[in-house]
Amino acid sequence: MSSKETHKPAVQTTGHAWDGDLQEFNNPLPRWWLWAFYATVVFAVIYWVIYPAWPLGRDYTKGLFNTITYETSDGRQVETHWNTRARFLREMQAARAKQEQILQRLAGVPYQEIAADRELSAFAYSMAKVLFADNCAACHQSGGAGVAGLYPNLADDAWLWGGTYAEIEQTIRNGRRGFMPSFARALDEQQLDDVATFVLSLSGFEVDPEAARRGGAIFNGQAGGCYYCHTHEGTGMTSQGAANLTDAVWTVARVQATAGVEANKEAVKAVIRKGIQREMPAWAGRLDDTEIRILTFYVHQLGGGQ
Ligand code: HEC
Ligand code: HEC
């Protein structure tokens, strides 16, 4: 650098001078700012050409080279200049077409395929949550936890009517009638006591073995005939909706692991004495086939389906 340049004045002037010493400073705008400004000008001009921009009396410039095609509600294809309404309609249509396509697949493919396909299962799941809340949660509670004694828990692994896709679909489509006769007349108090003791022994309660032995004879004999629906082993029968009595899952009897044997025996006795009559309503006709399939998939997932 030469020494001359280092002595340049701090601020450049334009070289003009008035009244002898009145000078005009020259402070140019920064380069980057200037270029950015030019760029916005260029952008604005391009934008005005392509997009609707300038008012023209009652009309406005529509923009060039930029059209949107969408379908009207009566199925006509309409091509129009770019505008946000048309863009919104087109996006809605694309979403609806996609949804339509997914619903069609949900209606047709086997359940296993829904489970294996992430997009399908996520869609089914989110739709099912709404369907379940609207139609099922009033009885089965949100999340399917049920109400002890009234509505079975759908989120556990115990099924009255079976936990395969086909069985669950059947349950929802046609409804189910859970029926066990009352034994108030067939059995006396001692027999009720004994058979209830036997039932508790099936799911692992420590009970009087002699009473349980007598109860077992009633359960598997003519007096009780319980085996007829619950099988000799007490494992239940999904064709009858007869509960598995060996799994320590109680849907009707108010048996609690923490309550004593005596209290639980009373709870079981109450059920045997009174019998059971409850109904799962049928949904065919109220929900369409796809909705029933979606709910079947959902309930199967909730309860560790089989
Ligand atoms: C009015 C009350 C009520 C409503 C509403 C209801 N359910 Fe049920 N549901 C029941 C009852 C009661 C049972 C038990 C039937 C029995 O005792 O066998 C049941 C049983 C079931 C079962 C069989 C459970 C098993 O262990 O096998 C399934 C699955 C089921 N419901 C699903 C649904 C779905 C899905 C909906 C909604 C579309 C629904 N339920 C709506 C009352 C209801
Ligand atoms: C006609 C068929 C039938 C016969 C006979 C029968 N049951 Fe049941 N039992 C059922 C059905 C069905 C259920 C489940 C009903 C439901 O959940 O809606 C059930 C439920 C029960 C429950 C409640 C289980 C729970 O999870 O809370 C007990 C306890 C029981 N049975 C004991 C007996 C005993 C003991 C006998 C014989 C004295 C007997 N049952 C005879 C059909 C029968």
Look at residue 3 and tell me whether its pLDDT is greater than 50.
Answer: no
CB 187 within 8 A of CB 195: yes
CA 16 vs. chain centroid, Å, equals: 78
The arithmetic mean of pLDDT across residues 99-120, rounded, is 93
Strand partners, 119: none
Per the domain annotation, does 92 fall within a domain?
yes
Atom of ligand 1 lying closest to residue 138 CA? 5
Contacts of residue 147, defined as CB under 8 A and 6 or more positions apart, other chains included, come to 139, 141
Half-sphere exposure of residue 39, counting CA atoms within 13 Å on the CB side? 6
Q: Which ligand is nearest to the CA of 163?
A: 1
- Domain region containing 15: 1-54
154 and 292 part of one domain: yes
Q: Band of the pLDDT at 8, cuts 50, 70, 90?
A: low
Per the domain annotation, does 268 fall within a domain?
yes
Look at residue 73 and tell me whether its pLDDT is greater than 90.
Answer: no
- Between 223 and 6, where is the model more confident? 223
* 144 Cβ inside 6 Å of ligand 1: no
The arithmetic mean of pLDDT across residues 221-245, rounded, is 96
- Type of residue numbered 306: Q
Choose the weakest-confidence range: 41-50, 81-90, 221-230: 81-90
Per the domain annotation, does 59 fall within a domain?
no
Per the domain annotation, does 60 fall within a domain?
no
76 and 147 part of one domain: no
Distance, in Å, from the CA atom of 291 to the CA atom of 170, rounded to the nearest integer, reads: 13
Q: Which ligand is nearest to the CA of 150?
A: 1
Q: Which residues form ligand 2's pocket by a CB distance below 6 Å?
A: 160, 178-181, 183, 195, 199, 219, 224-226, 228-230, 240-243, 245, 250-253, 268, 271-272, 276, 278
> Residue 191 Cα, ligand 2 centroid: separation in angstroms?
16
218 and 267 part of one domain: yes
> Residue 218 Cα, ligand 2 centroid: separation in angstroms?
14
Per the domain annotation, does 61 fall within a domain?
no
Per the domain annotation, does 117 fall within a domain?
yes
- Which of 9, 29, 54 is at the close of a domain? 54
CA 89 vs. chain centroid, Å, equals: 27
Contacts of residue 208, defined as CB under 8 A and 6 or more positions apart, other chains included, come to 197
List, for residues 132-191, the tens digit of each pLDDT value.
999 999 999 999 999 988 999 999 989 999 999 999 999 999 999 999 999 999 999 999
19 and 102 part of one domain: no
The full length of the chain comes to 306
6 and 86 part of one domain: no
Q: Which ligand is nearest to the CA of 149?
A: 2
Determine the pLDDT at residue 300: 95
- Between 174 and 78, where is the model more confident? 174
Atom of ligand 2 lying closest to residue 268 CA? 29
CA 209 vs. chain centroid, Å, equals: 47
**Secondary structure letter of residue 286 according to DSSP:** T
Per the domain annotation, does 153 fall within a domain?
yes
Per the domain annotation, does 285 fall within a domain?
yes
Instruction: Share the mean pLDDT of the chain.
Output: 91
Q: Which of 99, 158, 66 is nearest to 294 (CA)?
A: 99
Domain count, the chain: 4
Kind of pairing between the strands at 77-81 and 176-180: unpaired
